[in-house]
Amino acid sequence: MKEVDFLIVGTQKGGTTALAQFLSFHPDICFAPIKEVHFFDYDRNYHQGQEFYHSFFPNYNNQKSIGEATPIYMYLSKIPPRIARYNPKMKLIVLLRNPIDRAYSHYQMELKRGWEFLPFNQAILLEPLRLLLPQNIEDERCPRRVYSYCDRGYYSRQLKTLYQHFPEEQVLILLQEDLEQNHTQTLQQVYDFLTVSPPPQLPQPQRVLAGKYQPLPPRLRQNLQSRFAPEIEALSKLIQRDLSNWLT
């Protein structure tokens, strides 16, 4: 099997499952049947080498492009250099979501799993302390994987790490709302990025794994808007997109 040539690297709760499902329908794309392969972030997987990684693609049949989606890949700083060592020409797809909505959705996921027990306002208040706790990043329940509600929303830092290892032309940045509101145009942008032709029939728009929960209280949203305002401004300049609607 040839090398994996594209990855959906994030962000968690940003629409990666939907995009992965859409791309898996493409006849020229071999997409890993397992969502979130976790090859590059778990040492126990990474150190088993390339042959082990390629075993996650049993559906490979000489397709033009090969890819997978593991949203934590853009968050942990040790991962981009590992990806670059594996394939320096790797194409990276980044889906970004309003960091406030992303944090709340992440919290709701951990609550549903039974891995979170605090109210959201307390969870984000204690997040910096939780992230300082002794932890083994190899444990799927370690604090940095579970409780990084706000920390994962500092996208500019993560993108700059990606750019240290990959040229900007190998990184496609999309917003979750692009996929939801401009479905056909956004998929065409992804196909162009991967240099594959559009499939005979485009997959229909749909929300995948959309959670149902009570809306974020307005006062807490306002507090998070104040917290994230500098980051959103920095990100807007970095990716040259107007993100002012994230603060309304």
Q: Which domains occur in the chain, in start order?
A: 6-247 (3.40.50.300)
Q: Which amino acid is at 35?
A: K
For the chain, the C-alpha Rg in angstroms (whole number) is 18
Sign of CA dihedral 26, 27, 29, 32: positive
| Beta-bridge mates of residue 8 | 69, 93
- Output the pTM of the full model: 0.96
Please count the CA atoms within 13 angstroms of the CA of 40 that sit on its side-chain side. 24
What confidence score (pLDDT) does residue 134 get?
87
Low-confidence residues of the chain, pLDDT below 50? none
Q: Under the phi-then-psi rule, with left for phi > 0, alpha for psi from -120 to 50, and beta for the rest, what region is 179?
A: alpha
What confidence score (pLDDT) does residue 45 get?
98
Q: What is the DSSP string of 194-245?
A: HT-PPPSSPPPP---S----PPPPHHHHHHHHHHHHHHHHHHHHHHT---GG
What confidence score (pLDDT) does residue 150 get?
98
Report whether 102 contacts 17 (CB < 8 A).
no
What confidence score (pLDDT) does residue 205 get?
80
**Rounded-to-10 torsion of CA 238, 239, 241, 245:** -70
* 155 vs 35: CA distance, rounded Å: 22
What confidence score (pLDDT) does residue 105 get?
97
